[in-house]
Amino acid sequence: MSSRTYADDLFPLEVIEQGEEQLSAGSSSPSGTPNSVDAANSRIHVGWMTTPFDVEENLDRQVAPYCTNLGESKYNFVSFPVGGVVRAFCKPTALSEHHPPVIDLPDVQLANSLWETYINGKVSEWIDCDSEDLAFATLSEENLLKELNYVCYLGLQTMTIELKRVNSPRTAAILNKWIWTRNSRFTVWVQLPTCLEKCMGFNGQTNEKSLDLWTIWADFRKLCGNFSGMYLQVALSLSANLPNEFTEPKLVERWKAESIGAFIVESDLFITGKFGETVLPSAHLSLLQSLWSSDSLRLVLRAVNDVFKYNKAVKFEWSQALRHAVRDVLFKIQKCSGESSTDSAHYLNVIEYKDVLQAPLQPLSENLDSGVYNTFEQDQTKYVVYGEAVEGALKDLGADGRKSVVVYLLGGGRGPIGTKILRAEKIYNSTFRKGRDPLKVKLYIVEKNPNAIVTLKYMNVRTWKRRVTIVESDMRSLPRIARDRGLEQPDIIVSELLGSFGDNELSPECLDGVTDFLKPTTISIPQKYTSYVVPIMSTHLHQTIKAQSIPFLSRAIPSHGRAEPELDEDGMWIQKYPQGHVVNNMDQIYVVYLSKYIPLFSSTKPVFTFEHPNFTNSSNERSATVEFDIDRKADLMGFGGYFDLQLYKNVMLSIEPSTHTPGMVSWFPAVIPLRDQLRVGENDKIRLKIDRKVDAGGVWYEWHVEQLKPSGDVINTPLQNPNGQSYYMRM
Ligand SMILES: C[S@@+](CC[C@H](N)C(=O)[O-])C[C@H]1O[C@@H](n2cnc3c(N)ncnc32)[C@H](O)[C@@H]1O
């Protein structure tokens, strides 16, 4: 017995090497680097779609040698009819008395693991559940179910079904029921042409003028209940003529917010490049490259004639041309964006957080743990800029020659900003006092987390030479404590109590609590912060938020809403969700390192602004209406939320995309979801109406969207998070 495996037999490692050099022409990547030809061969998976041109006698029983042949031409998998080629390619007209050939693709010809890994099951071409011929539609439905069952029987991981029509409600109904109710998971690739003329039912009438392929797909996935993009994906089949929606960037972009599983490329698309190599035309190449978001996407070659049936070399050229088209894409994106290049980003490994939902911290009502503080502290950028702000304030105050400045750090955590304040004193003295009459900073650190106080005391002895007065207290009690203990009033208060949406960690409420203790001249660092929003599209995020569920043993973990867990009649603790779990999921604000999304407007717009000190004691309740013009058909999932922070004068920190502080990873964007995706159209106006409400126990946002159609029609989405039932920031 040799040590060869089944897989080696099917897809041998020995491959035809001619053409490699030619294919690499123009590439600067040395062989052996992550994007070398060899690496690309194993990293980028190209499949072969079986068509009637492949059919040979007994092919349905010769799957193993057939795959081996394709493996020699560097195809990693095959999209093969799940019922076999005899059944798949029979003409609908030839279906004698509505009896199609039976499924006849014996399983034992391949090991189970090979079906799983190497075969994508293709639904028979003649199946058309939405045919106008109702008897044929019914026959198709029955047979689609048989093939879905056979996909499960073979244990395939992926299958492909072609979307043939502008409207496919019956096909969607079958799939919708299947994916939601069957306890067998495989990924469905919905094959969609990139030209409307290929869709049955399209006749170019005026009422279809606004129809596009994105809408056909978006309607179909909606009919499938927007099932998880892990299991329901679109496979774009690139056609020779690409309509506007696949060339105009703002329309192409929408696909970045969808779950794409594969690209199907027809063999007649290839042209000869300037070195005589096989390449894709530039429009197709740029479409493919702009949507190539991950090397786990699949490419599938579909031959459109049998001219090259026995020509392995040409098949090989096609597969390599496809790999070549995308092999450097991610490498270049990472290089351009400098992703993960900063020390902070590297340490935090931000890439791992892509599209992961995080609940915003509530550092006021909950005590942070050491690990969370440690994570904050990796982002040196934030602390450096805080240090610069304090230097600016010391310079201004110190200009009158005073000998001391009283600084309170409010919410000190483990003290990193304290260290920056003392360093600012040193820098100020060496720059402006030159060793004469040095300015002394009297530093107080106020912190309400008793655990962090342990660290602060340790830091005081070890690092700050006992220069710091540590006050273990909620800062809102500081005026009273200061009176009792005779503490001096601050010249400067420094705090960092900000969340991804600015005020959502209750900085305004905390800082208002110390106002009585301030001098009229006290400087607050920060002086001001503003939140911003932009409408976003992301089917993936919508699905992810909706799909969150609570395991039994977590049933009493407190929600983020107003209600608290209670002891149930059965003696077990439980957190109740009278509003329903899905509403609870959708009515919260999340923190997300956004990746699979697109903004639907060119810039953000401001929402709420807070200034400190708030000597006039003005209310922290807010109400804002933020309006955006929509320039394309899209599904609005909600809003990306950001903030910027004016620390002192022109010293700023920002996560607002156009002014983002370089290298700072302390805050990922906030996401304010809508309960359902809202279909918006070109020239619609959407208005986010958002309130910040405050009561004795806490703060919450309520929001909804008003959609104004060009016709004058107005659609209102339901009010979200009424009374803070799902998201309530406790004081
Ligand atoms: C976001 S953390 C920042 C910690 C630290 N300044 C840093 O930048 O690493 C906010 C800190 O403020 C503390 N905090 C929040 N509200 C407070 C309050 N009302 N009084 C005192 N400390 C508070 C929290 O316990 C936490 O340590």
731 is in an annotated binding site: no
Atom of ligand 1 nearest to the CA of 416: 9
Claim to verify: residue 124 and residue 177 sit in the same structural domain = yes
Q: Are both 215 and 111 inside the same structural domain? A: yes
Tell me, what CATH number does 465's domain have?
3.40.50.150
Here the ipTM equals 0.99
In a domain, 513, yes or no: no
| pLDDT of the residue at 206 | 46
28: left (phi over 0), alpha (psi -120 to 50) or beta: alpha
- Evaluate: CB of 47 within 6 angstroms of ligand 1: no
Q: Is residue 568 part of a domain?
A: yes
The mean pLDDT of the chain is 90
Give residue 2's pLDDT band: very low, low, confident or very high (50, 70, 90).
very low
Same domain, yes or no, for 376 and 329?
A: no
Split at pLDDT 50, 70, 90, the class of 13 is: very low
Distances (CA, A) of 393 to 21, 388, 389, 438, 521: 62, 9, 6, 16, 12
Judge whether residue 205 has pLDDT over 80.
no
Is 474 annotated for ligand binding?
Answer: yes
- Cβ of 229 less than 6 Å from ligand 1: no
Question: Residue holding tokens 């076999």?
Answer: 84
Ligand 1 within 6 A of CB of 452: yes
3 state DSSP class of 610: strand
The tens digit of pLDDT for each residue in 528-573 reads 999 999 999 999 999 999 999 999 999 999 999 999 999 999 999 9
- The answer, yes or no, to whether residue 33 has pLDDT greater than 60, is no
> Annotation-wise, does 373 bind a ligand?
yes
Confidence of residue 337 (pLDDT cuts 50, 70, 90): low
Q: How far is the CA of 660 from the centre of ligand 1 (A)?
A: 23
In a domain, 569, yes or no: yes
Q: Are residues 114 and 40 in the same domain?
A: yes
The residue whose two tokens read 């299991």 is: 231
Flag whether pLDDT at 27 surpasses 90: no
| Domain end position, chosen among 496, 519, 539 | 496
Q: Verify whether ligand 1 is closer than 6 Å to residue 123 (CB atom).
A: no
Confidence band of 183 (pLDDT split at 50, 70, 90): confident
In a domain, 524, yes or no: no
Q: Is 447 annotated as a binding residue?
A: yes
Distance 594 CA to ligand 1 centre (A): 26
Distant-in-sequence, close-in-space partners of 247: CB < 8 Å, separation ≥ 6: 283, 287
For residue 579, the enclosing domain spans: 529-730
Tell me, using a 6 A CB cutoff, whether residue 472 lines ligand 1.
no
In this predicted structure, the answer to whether residue 4 has a pLDDT above a threshold of 80 is: no
Task: Write down the pLDDT at residue 434.
Answer: 83
Q: Residue 234: is it exposed, middle or buried by C-beta count within 10 angstroms (0-12/13-18/19+)?
A: buried
Residue 473 belongs to a domain: yes
Same domain, 377 and 302: no
For residues 546 and 464, state if they share a domain. no
Examine the domain organization and report whether 430 and 540 are in the same domain.
Answer: no
Q: Which two tokens stand for residue 507?
A: 């900085």
The confidence score (pLDDT) of residue 3 equals 44
Domain boundary (317, 337, 357) is at 337
At 310 the pLDDT is 75
Query: Do 474 and 537 sit in the same domain of this protein?
Result: no
Of 496, 516, 539, the last residue of a domain is 496
Q: Is 496 a catalytic residue?
A: yes
Return the HEC string of 692-721: EEECCCEEEEEEEEEEECCCCCEEECCCEC
Q: State residue 348's pLDDT score.
A: 58
Per-residue pLDDT reduced to its tens digit, 420-458:
999 999 999 999 998 789 999 999 999 999 999 999 999
Average pLDDT over residues 208-226: 89
Residue 534, domain member (yes or no): yes
Catalytic option among 505, 509, 656, 702: 505
Q: What is the mean pLDDT of residues 134-142?
A: 93
Question: What pLDDT is recorded for position 262?
Answer: 97
Residue range 125-130: mean pLDDT, rounded: 94
Same domain membership, residue 725 and residue 666 = yes
Closest atom of ligand 1 to 446 CA is 21
What is the CATH classification number for the domain harbouring 172? 3.20.20.150
Mean pLDDT of 715-722: 98
Give the residue among 279, 293, 276 at the shortest CA–CA distance from 324.
279
Catalytic residue among 147, 258, 391, 496: 496
Q: How confident is the model at residue 83 (pLDDT cuts 50, 70, 90)?
A: very high
Distances in Å between the Cα of 401 and the Cα atoms of 431, 438, 523, 681 are 14, 9, 17, 62
Q: How confident is the model at residue 209 (pLDDT cuts 50, 70, 90)?
A: low
Instruction: Give the CATH number, domain containing residue 583.
Output: 2.70.160.11
Pocket of ligand 1 contains residue 44 by CB under 6 Å: no
Assess if residue 344 is contained within a domain.
no
pLDDT, tens digit (0-9, with 9 covering 90-100), for 40-64: 777 899 999 999 999 999 999 999 9
Question: Total structural domains in the chain?
Answer: 3
Is there a single domain that holds both residue 317 and residue 431?
Answer: no
Asked if 68 and 152 sit in the same domain, the reply is yes
249-296 confidence digits (pLDDT tens): 999 999 999 999 999 999 999 999 988 899 999 999 999 999 999 999
Identify whether residues 490 and 540 lie together within a single domain: no
Q: Please give the number of the atom of ligand 1 that sits closest to the Cα of 367.
A: 25
- Whether 349 is covered by a domain: the verdict is no
Look at residue 351 in the predicted model and tell me its pLDDT: 72
The contacts of residue 522 (CB under 8 Å, 6+ apart) are: 489, 490, 491, 492, 493, 613
